[in-house]
Chain A
Amino acid sequence: MTQPALDTSPPVSDEVRQTTCYMCACRCGINVHLKDGAVAYIEGNRDHPVNRGVLCAKGAAGIMQHNSPARLRAPLRRTGPRGSGEFEEITWDEALETAVSWMAPLRETAPEKLAFFTGRDQSQSFTSFWAQSFGTPNYAAHGGFCSVNMAAAGISTMGGAFWEFGQPDWERAKLFLIFGVAEDHDSNPIKMGIGKLKARGARVIGVNPIRTGYNAVADDWFGITPGTDGLLITALIHELMKAGQIDLDYLARFTNAPCLVDAREGATNGLLLKDGEGRALVVDRRTGSLAPWDGKGVEPDLAPGKTLSGTKHRTVLDHMAEHFLDPAHAPEAVAERTGLPAERIRALAALLARTAFEDPIVLDRPWTDFRGHRHETMIGRPIAMHAMRGISAHSNGFQTCRALHILQILLGTVEVPGGFRFKPPYPKPMTAHPKPHAKCEPGQPLGGPHLGFPHGPEDLALTPDGDPIRIDKAFTWDNPLSAHGLMHMVIANAHAGDPYKIDTLFLYMANMAWNSSMNTRAVMDMLSDTEADGSYKIPHIIYSDAYSSEMVAYADLILPDTTYLERHDCISLLDRPICEADAVADAIRWPVVEPDRDVRGFQSVLVDLANRMGLPGFTHEDGTAKYADYADYMVHHMRRPGIGPLAGWRAGEAGSGGRGESRPDQLEKYIENGGFWMEHVPEDAAFFKPWNTAYQDWAVAKGFYDSPQPYIFNLWLEPMRRFQLAAEGHGTRHPPDHLREQIRTHLTPLPHWHAPLSDGLTDPAAYPIHALTQRPMAMYHSWGSQNAWLRQIHGRNPLYVPTALMALHALTDGDWVTLTSPHGQITVPVAHMAALNPHTVWTWNAIGKRKGAWALDEDAPEATKGFLLNHLIHELLPPRGDGLRWSNSDPVTGQAAWFDLRVRMEKTAAPAETLPQTGRQASPVPDAPRRLAWSVR
C-alpha cells in the first residue's frame, strides 16, 4: 500500500514580528507570523520573561480579535439619542476639533469639569501625565472597581502585593496556597507555575467557593463561604501564634513587630514611638536600651517593651498576641461562618508550620542587611501564596488582604527562597509612593500624580470646607486609602451632581454602560438622562474603544482605537511592570501591521489633543510640540533625570539599561530584541530585597529609586491609626460626625474582620445565597464575545447552582430562576454544579451582551440567554434613613464590593429571553460574515 506524498516542511510564514499580547492584562510576548503582510498565526515568544513561549487560549485566538467584525472604522459623531447607537462617520480633524472645543474652555475655567477615566489600560503613567498637564483632579484607571484592596493592602503592609508586584518562588516552593483567584490575573505565569509545582509533586491548596480552573487541580480544596476569608486567615494566625510557630528572627529583623507602640494618652496614642528625628524605636537586645529601628548593628527585641515615665509601651508583637489570641479567632469560632470544619483549619495551620519550620530551604549565599548584619546563608520558608479579586472585591477586602500578608510574614515566607518574591521595581514601601494630588487651578497643571497613598488626614483630597475635591470622592473620609480612585462612582456622582456637576466625561476602553458598572440598567439611564431643558445631565461624553461595545452607543464622540497589533504601547517600569523576581524587564508594542481603517492609537490621539491645547507637559517653552506621537513620547519623555518610560537601551555606558539619556534608536533596539528588555537581578540580591544592601544598591543603579530605601514590614499600620486618632478628635482635620464611627471601627492598625457591609443593612435570612462571577481563562471581560473562536468556547453563561439548592428548588439543568437582591431582579437559566460552596451561585462574567453590540446577531445567545449579575448590585448601599449616599465599597479603599452580593432564588417559567432586556443599539459597523474559513495562504 502507498501513502500519499506529504510535504512535512512547508514554509511557515514570510516573516515573524515580535510584540506584546493584549488579549488580557498579562502582557505575554508573542511571535506574529505574517504572510503577504497579513497576520497568519500567533504563538508565544520563547525568550519573553512573562510567558517563555507558551500562550493561552485568548492569545492564540488574537488573530480573530484583530480581524473582528466589531472593529470601529472611523471617528463617529452621535446622530440619534444616547444609547441608540446611531452615528455618522466624521474625519479625524472634525473629531479632534470637537473634543478640543469641549475641553479647552474647561481647562481655562474649571478643569475639574473634565473627568478622564481609563479602563483596561496599561499606560497609566502616560494617561495620568496627560490629565496632570490638563489640570483636572478627576483622573483614575479601573483599579477602584478591580483590585485596589489587594494593591493597597500589599503596598502598605509590605511594599508590594501579588501579580505585578511579586510572585511565588515557583522553583522552590513546597506548598502553595491560592486564595480567591478566578481563572485570571495573572494568566500564563500561574499556569506555568502550577505546572512546575505539579511536576515535582509540591502541594497546591485552593481556597475558593468555586472549584474550577486552578482550584480544580488543587490537591486540597477549601470551598469557603464568600466574604469570610479573613476569618479563616485570622484563625490560622491564631493557631500559629498560640503554638509559637512563627519566625521570631525574621519578625525581629524585618518587620515592625519589635517597634514600640506609644501608650501615652493623647494625639500620639497608638502611633509608633519615635525619636526626635521621627524614627520608630525598638529595644536593642545588646543594650536593653531604646534604639532607632534602622540603627547600625541594632538587634531589635520582640519581647519586653519599655516603661518610660511610668508608662509601659508595648511592642507590636505584644499587641498582636492580645489581638490574635482572642478566642473569637479560634477555629471553632469561625467554622460555621466560613463553612469549614475547625479540624480542617487546624490541620492546615499544622501543615503551614511543618512546611515552614521543619522543612526550610537554606541557600549558601551570604548577604548583608541594612543594619550591617552579615547573614551567612539565605533561609527560606517554602510556602508561597497568591490571591486576587475573590478576597479583595469585598467591603472587608482591605483588611482581609492585610491579614493574608500578616500570615505570610509571621511564617517568614516573604522575600525568601521558596516563598513569595517581589519583582523589581518592587519592593517599594508605601512611603516611597507619591501622595495623592488634587488641588487644581484654572489653566494650571496639577501639582503631581493624582493617585497615591495618604499617610494621614492631612493628605486627603478635601476642600477647605471638607468637601470632596474629586468627582469619585476618592481620598475622603468615606474611603481614605482609595489609592486607585473609584471609577465605579463617577457616572453616578456626575449624574447626581454630587459633589458637583461635570461637563465632559472622557473614557477610554471601559465598558461603563455595561459590565464594568454596578447597577448597569440605571447607569445606562444616567448616561442618557436629561435636564428639564432636554440637555443631557452629563453634557458631553467622549469615548475611545477599538470595538463596537455597549459604551460606544452612549457617547457623543467616538475616537476609534487600533487593535493591539497596529499600535505602539509601552509596558513601563513607571506603570504596571512585567518583571520577574529574578529580572527587571519592560516591553513595547509596535505596529506589526498597519491599520486598514481610519483609526488611530489612543495614546497618539492624546498627544495630538495635548498639542492642540498646548498642554504644558507636552509643549516646549517656545510653544512647539515636544512629541509627534506616542512612539516619540516613549523614546523622548523624561520623567526624572535619566529616567524615561522605557528603561532598556538608554544612552550612556555601553547602551545599558536603567538610567541614561534618551536614545533615538531605542525602539529599534527593542524590536531587534523581540519587543522587550530584560536584565537579571544579581544572585546575591535575589532575596531579602527590602533589607539586602546588594539589592538596594542595584535598585538605585537601575533607577527604581534615587537612594537606598530599606524598610521594615508594617504589621502595625500606622496611617490607619492616624485616621482613627482624627476620628477620636485629635489633630486639626476631623471626619464628619456620620463617619467617625466608621473610621474608628474600620481603620484599625491591626486587621480585623467584619461582615460585608451590606449584610448589616439587609436581612441575610431573606437573601440567603451568595452570588459571584468569575472570568474564564479563555475569555477576558467583554472583549471575547466578538471572537469567533472564543465565543464557541464560552458563548453561554448559565447560573451555576450547587446540589442542595438544585434539590431545594426542584431544579434541573435548563430550568429558569428569578434571582432577587435587595436592589433588583434578573431571570436566568440554571445549570447544576456540585463542586461549589453550598450557599453560593455563580456565573461567568460579561458573557451577556446588549443586542446590537459587538457585531453579534441579535439572536446570539450572548444577547438572548446571557446575563449580567451587575443589575443586582447597586453602587450604593441600601438607604440607612439618614439621607446620605453610602458607597457599596470598602470603607478603607473604596474598592467596589462586587462579591458582597446576596440574593434569593425562585424557580420560574422560562421566559423567551433573560430578563431584564435593555433594548437594542444600532451597530455602527457592517454585519458580520455568515461563515469563516480563516486562512492566509
Chain B
Amino acid sequence: MTQLPPPSDVKLGLVIDLDTCVGCHACVTACKGWNTENYGAPLSDTDPYGAEPSGTFLNRIHSYEVQPEDGAAQLVHFPKSCLHCEDAPCVTVCPTGASYKRAEDGIVLVNESACIGCGLCAWACPYGAREKDPAEGVMKKCTLCVDRIYNENLPEEDRVPACVRTCPAGARHFGDLGDPGSDVSRLVAERGGIDLMPEQGTKPVNQYLPPRPKDTDLDVLAPLLAPVAETPQGFLGWLDKTLSKLPGSAQ
C-alpha cells in the first residue's frame, strides 16, 4: 500500500461555482483535448462512432433535478473530477505506489509506468473520479493539468488547468486552498464553499460553492405598483400633469 506525504502547505485545487455552472460541458472537452495530447497515454474512445461509444474522461458534468416541497423544480449542473483529497483513499489503496500525492502541492497523480490497472483506486474513491483507460490499461484521473500550471512554455496567464481557462461562465477557479488569503480561499469563505461528502473523511481540497436560493423573494417582499390611471383617459390626464412639471414646458 502507498503512503501519503505529510500535509503540504500548498494545496492546489479547484473551486467550482454551482450557482453559475450552466452545464455546457466546455470543461469536459477542453480537458479531454489537453489531456489526450499530454500527460500519460491518450484518453481513448471505444466504439466512438457506434452503438455504445465509451471514452475516458477526466472530468464530467452530471445534472440533477431538485424538487423543493414548495415551488418549481430546479436543475443543478454538477461538474465532477478528482478533488485531490488530503486523505486520499485512492493513494493509500494503491498496491504499486503508482497513485501518489505530490508533497509540494498536494496534486494526486498516477504514475502510469507503475500502474497495473487493478482498479482498486477507482473502487476506493468515493467520488467515482477515476476511470480505467481500456486501450492503455492504466488508471486515468484529473492531473490538475500539472503539465500546464508550471509550464514555462505557456504564457503565465495560461498556467491554469485547461478546464479553468476555457470555462465560459467563469464557474471554475484555480488556486491555493492552503493559503487563507488566496482568491480561491476568499471566494470559499464569502460564498460558503463546501466539502463534497465530508462524512467520507477524505478532506477534499476542491470546494463547491452552493447554488443561491431560487424563486424566492420576487413575490413577497416588494411593494406592487400603484396605479396612476385605470383608463386611457386617466392615463392622459396623468401624462399632462406629469409633463407640465418637467422643465421646458410651454403649458
Give the interface of A toward B (CB within 8 A). 1, 3-4, 6-12, 40-44, 46, 51, 53-61, 63, 69, 183, 187-188, 191-192, 194-196, 198-199, 211-214, 216-221, 223, 239-245, 248-249, 285-288, 299, 301-304, 317-318, 321-322, 325, 343-344, 346-351, 353-354, 777-778, 786, 788-793, 795, 803, 833-836, 855-857, 859-861, 864, 928-937
Contact = CB atoms under 8 A, between A and B. Distances in A.
Residue of B63, B113, B219 contacting most chain A CB atoms (<10 Å): B219
Nearest to B54: A792
Interface string B200-226: 000000000001101110110011111
Nearest to B5: A1
Contacts of B67: 834
B243 A60 contact: no
28 contacts: A9-B150, A9-B153, A10-B38, A10-B147, A44-B166, A54-B26, A56-B168, A187-B168, A191-B24, A194-B20, A195-B20, A211-B75, A212-B63, A217-B19, A242-B228, A243-B228, A244-B238, A321-B235, A322-B232, A788-B49, A834-B67, A836-B73, A861-B51, A864-B51, A929-B49, A930-B48, A933-B43, A935-B36
B26 A931 contact: no
Given A240-B225, A347-B219, A856-B49, A304 B22 contact: no
B74 A46 contact: no
Contacts of A223: 72
B29 A350 contact: no
Contact of A321 (B33, B102, B236): B236
A304 B34 CA distance: 67
A758 B24 CA distance: 34
Contact of A286 (B167, B222, B242, B248): B248
A788 B235 contact: no
Contacts of A786: 49
A43 B30 contact: yes
Contacts of B170: 192, 195-196, 199
Contact of A303 (B26, B75, B239): B239
B219 A343 contact: yes
Contacts of A219: 212, 214-216
A287 B248 CA distance: 10
B243 A302 contact: yes
B77 A216 contact: yes
A244 B165 contact: no
Given A9-B153, A789-B32, A835 B73 contact: yes
Contact of A931 (B21, B44, B219, B230): B44
B230 to A, nearest CB: 7
Contacts of B197: none
Contact of B232 (A60, A248, A321, A778): A321
Contacts of A8: 146-147, 149-151
Interface in B154-203: 154, 157, 162, 165-171
A789 B170 CA distance: 22
A60 B47 contact: no
Contact of A344 (B48, B218, B230, B246): B218
A934 B38 CA distance: 11
B22 A213 contact: yes
B166 A54 contact: yes
B9 interface: no
Contact of B218 (A286, A347, A835): A347
Contacts of A7: 147
Contact of B219 (A195, A318, A344, A353): A344
Nearest to B97: A1
Contacts of A857: 47, 49-51
B43 to A, nearest CB: 8
Nearest to A349: B225
B135 interface: yes
B169 A195 contact: yes
B23 A216 contact: yes
A859 B37 contact: no
In the complex, the 5 A-B pairs of residues with the closest C-beta atoms, listed nearest first: A834-B73, A928-B49, A191-B168, A243-B225, A788-B48
Contacts of A199: 20, 170
B47 A188 contact: no
A221 B225 contact: no
Given A6-B146, A42-B33, A194-B169, A325 B23 contact: no
Nearest to B98: A4
Contacts of A803: 73
A350 B74 contact: no
B246 to A, nearest CB: 7
B80 interface: no
Contacts of A63: 33
Contact of A932 (B20, B45, B230): B45
B239 A792 contact: no
Contacts of A248: 239, 242-243, 246
Contacts of B21: 217
A244 B168 contact: no
Contacts of A791: 48-49, 53
B232 A788 contact: no
B230 A242 contact: yes
Nearest to B168: A191
Nearest to A243: B225
A325 B231 contact: yes
Contacts of B165: 43-44, 53-54
A371 to B, nearest CB: 12
Interface centre among A194, A347, A349, A786 (most CB of B within 10 A): A347
Q: Specify which of B24, B25, B49, B55 lies most central, judged by the most chain A CB atoms within 10 Å of its CB.
A: B49
B168 A221 contact: no
A864 B26 CA distance: 27
A346 B154 CA distance: 53
Contacts of A788: 45, 48-49, 53, 55
B159 to A, nearest CB: 10
Given A40-B37, A792-B53, A935-B37, A46 B222 contact: no
A304 B237 CA distance: 10
A12 to B, nearest CB: 5
Contacts of B48: 788, 791-792, 928-932
B225 A211 contact: no
Contacts of B162: 43
B116 interface: no
B151 A9 contact: yes
A69 B49 CA distance: 9
A4 B114 contact: yes
B39 to A, nearest CB: 8
Nearest to B52: A861
A373 to B, nearest CB: 10
A495 to B, nearest CB: 33
Given A8-B151, A249-B246, A778-B29, 11 more contacts: A3-B103, A6-B109, A56-B26, A191-B24, A192-B168, A195-B170, A220-B214, A244-B229, A285-B249, A350-B224, A778-B28
A348 B218 CA distance: 7
Contact of A3 (B33, B102, B223, B246): B102
A241 B242 CA distance: 13
Given A57-B24, A789-B32, A11 B166 contact: no
A838 to B, nearest CB: 10
A346 B225 CA distance: 8
B22 A61 contact: no
A931 B135 contact: yes
Nearest to B145: A8
A417 B246 CA distance: 23
Given A12-B151, A318-B236, A795-B53, A191 B250 contact: no
A216 B171 CA distance: 14
B76 interface: yes
Contacts of A932: 44-45, 48, 55
Contacts of B32: 60-61, 789
